[in-house]
Amino acid sequence: MLMVERKVRLYICLFIVSLLCLTCLVLTACDNYLFLVASNNNLCYIDIIIDGGNRNKLIKGFLDEKSGKVFVPIKDYLQSCTDISKELPRMNYANSSDDLLASMVIDNILFVPISQISSFMGFNTYQKGSNIVIQVNKMKHNRQLNSKDWHIKVQYIARMSYSPSNKWESIVTEALQEYKKQNRNFALYIQNYSLSGDYLNYSKTRKWGTNIVYDEKGIPKVKYGNDYHYNPVTIAQFALTQYGKYLNGEKDCKGQFLEAVDQLLLLQDELGAFRYNFSWRYYLSGETYKPGWASGMAQGQALSVLARAYLISQDPKYLKSGEKAIDFLITPVEKGGVMATLGDLHPFLENNVIFEEYISNPSSYTLNGFMFTLLGLYDWSQLRDASPSYSNIAEKYFNEGLQTLCFILPFYDLGGFTAYDLGHITYDKEPHVGVGYHAVHIYLLKALYSITGDPLLDYFAELWAGYVR
């Protein structure tokens, strides 16, 4: 009996020592985690994996082309958080015996699986309705550190933690006051988006400013400086308005729609770009664009127009124009196109594509123009029978763009209002707020959510809507 008691005491002591060792490991090596960023059905999530069989690959960090997953050292990513927010994100992680399932150190890398996560190494779970969206898959584990069958996986929808600066409070307050004064209503534009429908309810909502004149065919021209010019985005939005009116019974608007589309074609060059034939000074970089500059938003809006033009006319010239527009849209900025990456946020993100409304160095990442472009890619992806090859290309870049959008959405949040772009990060300037664009951000997110069902998009749409309700 005495011998049994001694053995029990010995086992208890060994167990306590083991727990203390594990705790020490958590406290001393917490800056050397390894994590995996991946995407599943357009849901951004984090996988934290312990796998004895693959741990050498995990430690090195690599792109697994077969699965499409990217393994990255957390210390590199934390540096990007530092560059972006000027301070390390708050790091909360489980340290109780209930939450800490197991840990191990391999080549100075600490692996810790967590069963209950509210915030882990700068990432937060997402709320859907009244529920926190979190999935945990726990397999039985062996506490021996050299085990070859060790595999614990934690998977959850997540976003990067980002805290807006307190010094922006006055900007947010003024923006909210102005928003209320302008009586903005994002709800008028919200719909279940469809290629065959009234584009963002434009037939009922789109209004034109006082700086517009109309040519002999009724096509709008916008005043810049002392003259009026055709603006491809303005013409595209005018065309989409006429298209919506046609769908709602105003049959004579079909002709006006096609007139506008044909004018848009006249602005397209041999490379497929819809050019702005006037100078424009970009506020953020101070650069003056010379006539002939291009924009990702113009390409995207044109795709939405051309897809609809083909549907109601079956004219192959609209297919040819749309396919050329895609060719230019996916041309990298360094080759004269409008497709950039998130590399100006951090080199870690240089494989995340984005379509720039304004080409600048560094990039500015204008949000509304990017989302309008994604809608254009989606519209063209629906022409599977008429343009099978390019509809596949459009779908590919639509999905890639969505992954980028999921990642960067938090950085536009100023803590009560949204920024127009990310100049407050890439240029380290005061955030640029376009009061009306806060509403645009909300209804574009709702449109993309209606297409994808991605809860992350709805999360931000509801969050930002809550700021102005």
Amino acid identity of residue 139, one-letter, is M
Cα 104 to Cα 102: distance, rounded to the nearest angstrom: 7
CA distance between the termini of the chain: 72
| pTM for the full predicted model | 0.71
Cα 338 to Cα 360: distance, rounded to the nearest angstrom: 10
Cα 393 to Cα 390: distance, rounded to the nearest angstrom: 5
The class (CATH top level) of 166-468 is: mainly alpha
- Mean pLDDT within 39-53: 30
Confidence of residue 190 (pLDDT cuts 50, 70, 90): very high
Q: For 375-408, how does the pLDDT look when each residue is reduced to its tens digit (9 = 90+)?
A: 999 999 999 999 999 999 999 999 999 989 987 8
Q: For 242-295, how does the pLDDT look when each residue is reduced to its tens digit (9 = 90+)?
A: 999 999 999 999 999 999 999 999 999 999 999 999 999 999 999 999 999 999
Domain coordinates in residue numbering, the chain: 13-160, 166-468
Contacts of 450 (CB under 8 A, 6+ apart): 191, 192, 193
Confidence of residue 175 (pLDDT cuts 50, 70, 90): very high
Sign of CA dihedral 338, 342, 348, 352: negative
Total Cβ atoms within 10 A of residue 354 = 30
Q: For 400-444, how does the pLDDT look when each residue is reduced to its tens digit (9 = 90+)?
A: 999 899 878 888 999 999 999 999 989 999 999 999 999 999 999
Cα 415 to Cα 392: distance, rounded to the nearest angstrom: 38
Is residue 50 within 8 Å of residue 150, measured between CB atoms? yes
Token code pair at residue 1: 């009996």
Q: What is the pLDDT of residue 387?
A: 97
Q: What is the pLDDT of residue 346?
A: 72
Angle between helices 435-452 and 388-408 (to 10 degrees): 120
Q: What is the pLDDT of residue 5?
A: 58
Instruction: Please give, one letter per residue, the 3-state secondary structure of the chain.
Output: CHHHHHHHHHHHHHHHHHHHHHHHHHHHCCCCCEEEEEEECCEEEEEEEEECCCHHHHHHCCEECCCCEEEEEHHHHHHHHHHHHCCCCCCCCCCCCCCECCCEEECCEEECCECCCCEECCEEEEEECCEEECEEECCCCCCCCCCCCCEEEEEEEEEECCCCCHHHHHHHHHHHHHHHHHCCCHHHHCCCCCCCCCHHHHHHHCCCCCCEEECCCCCEEEEECCEEECCHHHHHHHHHHHHHHHHCCCCCHHHHHHHHHHHHHHCECCCCCECECCCEECCCCCCEECCCECCHHHHHHHHHHHHHHHHHHCCHHHHHHHHHHHHHHCCEHHHCCCEEEHHHCCHHHCCCEEECCCCCCCCCCCHHHHHHHHHHHHHHHCCCCCCHHHHHHHHHHHHHHHHHHHHHHHHHECCCCECCCCHHHHCCCCCCCCHHHHHHHHHHHHHHHHHHCCHHHHHHHHHHHHHHC
Cα 353 to Cα 405: distance, rounded to the nearest angstrom: 9
Q: What is the pLDDT of residue 101?
A: 23
Total Cβ atoms within 10 A of residue 85 = 18
> Does position 48 have pLDDT exceeding 70, yes or no?
no
Q: Average model confidence (pLDDT) for the chain?
A: 73
Cα 130 to Cα 140: distance, rounded to the nearest angstrom: 30
Q: What is the pLDDT of residue 9?
A: 54
